[in-house]
Structure 1
Amino acid sequence: MTAHGANPFTPGFGLTPMILAGRAVAIDDFTAALAGNVPEARAILISGARGSGKTVLLTEFTELAMEAGWTDLRVHTSSSSLVDELRSMAIARLRELDPDAETSRLTSARVSGVGASRDVLDRYEGEGETITTVLDRLAELTDQDGGGLLITLDELQSVDRDQLHALTQHVQDLIGSGHAVAFIAAGVRPGVDALLDHERTTFLRRAHRIEVGSVDVGTAAEAIRMTIADTSKTIAPEAAVLAGEISKGYPYLIQLIGSKAWQNSGDADTIELEDVRGGSSGVIAAMIKNVHGPSLRGLSSRKREYLHAMLQDEGPSNVGDIAERMGIDPRNQSTYRERLIDDELIRPAGRGLVEFALPYLGDALRHEKEEGAATEPGSGLTRSHRSRRDPRPR
């Protein structure tokens, strides 16, 4: 048996994979923006469905900026005040970068002796420096170092609109002062679209929009193959093709089927077709639990009925057939259709046709119908860790 090291796939949300599929153009554009070739592309808004790779791309942009000498300030939507958090982080960086962050003051000295007493003063202690002053000083220092200031915000759909307006106002002021500043925000598309309807989000509406989603299955298969090629294992060509097909090109599923296949292959040198095929049910189960479960939770009964009406079709559904199955006027179905499109659960598939927008959503709905909730299917019995650690006499 050969030791092959750790599993190279990263199916957790927000974890950066070894190979990024379908993101080359976005990365090249941002690299050019950092270099100053297209500075207007330094304000970026990333949106997409859960598991589509929004946070991964934001993280990749951040790492590119840091490699180019930029300073990163990462703001969190869970913060009670985005502006206060931004100020605190900026001050922490200034204490590292500003040569004038600390000064000393002579407080006493002996006339005939050599001793003296001094107080060390922290320029940024307390509330003396406003956030405008703090950010301007930090941006000035990063400019001098040949880099810039990057401000990032994930889970944008959860942010308070007024706080977002205050934050982006400071970003605009820095840009207006001629500093090298980039701002990147990421969030799920329906929430981001709703946020952009607000009159105080003009800055974000002007940002460069990047929609992330699925890639073609051929690209997915190649991403899986390249990830494994960087290890001591290989994958059979037909196994890589099947893995790409199972993933449907969805970034989260690319990592998940790759991880399952790697795990199933054990100590073998090659991942075979049966290793990939054996991971299929686990992939669908995880997609149901981690992606479809949150999406379906809280869905209205009429929206859910619309989705269940689509289950009778092998491919795209005719909206007239859906209305008939629901027992409603065909003209009225458009209300639920538009809302479900906004929820990113369905998408247009041609004139008068719709289809599920996410892989395996039909499986999730069938499971929900049978089990009553979109939870991960499970089966089998296993002895708990406690029982193995503390066996009792039988």
Structure 2
Amino acid sequence: MEAKMLNPFMPNFGRFPKIIIDQQEALTDYLTGLQTHDAKYQTSLVYVTRGSRKTVFLLNVQRSLEELDNWIFIRLNNGQGDLLFQLMHGLQRVAGISLVDLLKSVKSLNIMGKGITGQALQESQQIDYDEYISILLSRLKKQGKSILIGIDEIEISDDVRAFGSEYQTLIGDE
């Protein structure tokens, strides 16, 4: 009887497969480029046909960087919206800024019914992402940390355009 080869593709979303098809060379090249701060790796877009392990590649990058003391991987979820707020929150967490510092962005409190809802500057579109994210990145840079932002399954939207614009500004500011 002939041995049947198992299908290496897993239909489960976000799970790490048992077999990884030929990613080691690309992964090693990418990680080396990141760690040497090669400018051509500063912004990377991974695109191949569906089912070709883009998410697995991103997970491998994340896991590899998490083993290093001087790298921080921040994963953003395009489906949750407001990528800049997600980035700011992720940077706030890894920079060690307390919730009290984060709450300094609260402009007012609105009492609605029995609950109290904080109206953050984000809701009134007044968060100065450029300033706040720059402060967080400067703090992390002083700590010798490098940041990689990963966004899986990205689609063009106003939110992605806003993120891209801020990202370009941050790159210009180093």
Tell whether the structures are fold-level matches, with TM greater than 0.5: yes
Q: 1:78 to 1:33 in 2, by over 3 A?
A: same
Q: Distance in 2 between matches of 1:66 and 1:172?
A: 25
Q: Which whole-Å CA distance do the structure 1 matches of 2:171 and 2:36 have between them?
A: 13
SS at match of 1:17: coil
Partner of 2:56: 56
Q: Which residue does the alignment assign to 2:165? A: 169
Q: Is the 8 A contact 1:62 1:72 kept in 2?
A: yes
As a proportion of its length, which structure holds more helix?
1
Contact 2:81 2:159 in 1 (8 A): no
Give the SS at the match of 1:27.
helix
1:140-165 CA distances to partner (integer Å, 9 max, x unpaired)?
A: 233233331121111113x41x2112
Q: Describe the SS at the equivalent of 1:14.
A: coil
Partners of 2:91 and 2:137 within 8 A in 1: no
Q: Indicate if the aligned counterparts of 1:91 and 1:134 stay in contact, CA closer than 8 A.
A: no
C-alpha offsets along residues 37-73 of structure 1, whole Å, 9 cap, x if unaligned?
A: 5232131111223321010001111222222232222
User: 1:51 and 1:85 mapped to 2: Cα distance?
Assistant: 27
Per-residue deviation, residues 300-331 of structure 1 (Å, max 9, x unmatched): xxxxxxxxxxxxxxxxxxxxxxxxxxxxxxxx
CA distance in 2, matches of 1:81, 1:155: 15
The residue that corresponds to 1:45 in the other structure is 45
- Secondary structure at the counterpart of residue 80 of structure 2: coil
CA distance in 1, matches of 2:94, 2:128: 15
Residue equivalent to 2:101:
123
Cα distance change, pair 64–142 in 1 and its aligned pair in 2 (3 A): farther
Q: Which runs of 5+ in 2 are unaligned?
A: 1-7, 107-126
Bigger Rg, structure 1 or 2: 1
Output aligned runs, 1:154-233, within 5 Å: 154-157=152-155, 159-160=156-157, 162-178=158-174
| Distance in 2 between residues matched to 1:70 and 1:176, nearest whole Å | 21
Inter-CA distance 67–176: structure 2 relative to 1 (3 Å threshold): farther
Number of residue pairs the alignment of both structures matches:
145
Tell whether the 8 Å contact from 1:10 to 1:16 is kept in structure 2 after alignment: no
Distance 1:134 1:71, change over 3 A: farther
- Partner secondary structure for residue 148 of structure 2: strand
Q: Give the match for residue 36 of structure 1.
A: 36
Q: Secondary structure at the match of 1:169?
A: helix
SS at match of 1:71: strand
Please name the residue that 2:75 is paired with: 74
Q: Which runs of 4+ in 1 moved over 4 A?
A: none
CA contact (8 A) 2:9 2:51 kept: no
Q: Secondary structure of 1:47's match?
A: coil
Percent sequence identity is: 22
Contact 1:14–1:53 (8 Å) recurs in 2: no
**1:49–1:34 distance in 2 versus 1, CA, 3 Å:** same
8 Å contact 1:73–1:86 — kept in the other structure? yes
Q: What SS does the corresponding residue of 1:45 show, helix, strand or coil?
A: coil
Letter aligned with residue 165 of structure 1: R
Of the two structures, which has the highest relative contact order with CA contacts closer than 8 Å and spacing of 6 or more? 2
Contact kept in structure 2, 1:70 and 1:150, CA below 8 Å: yes
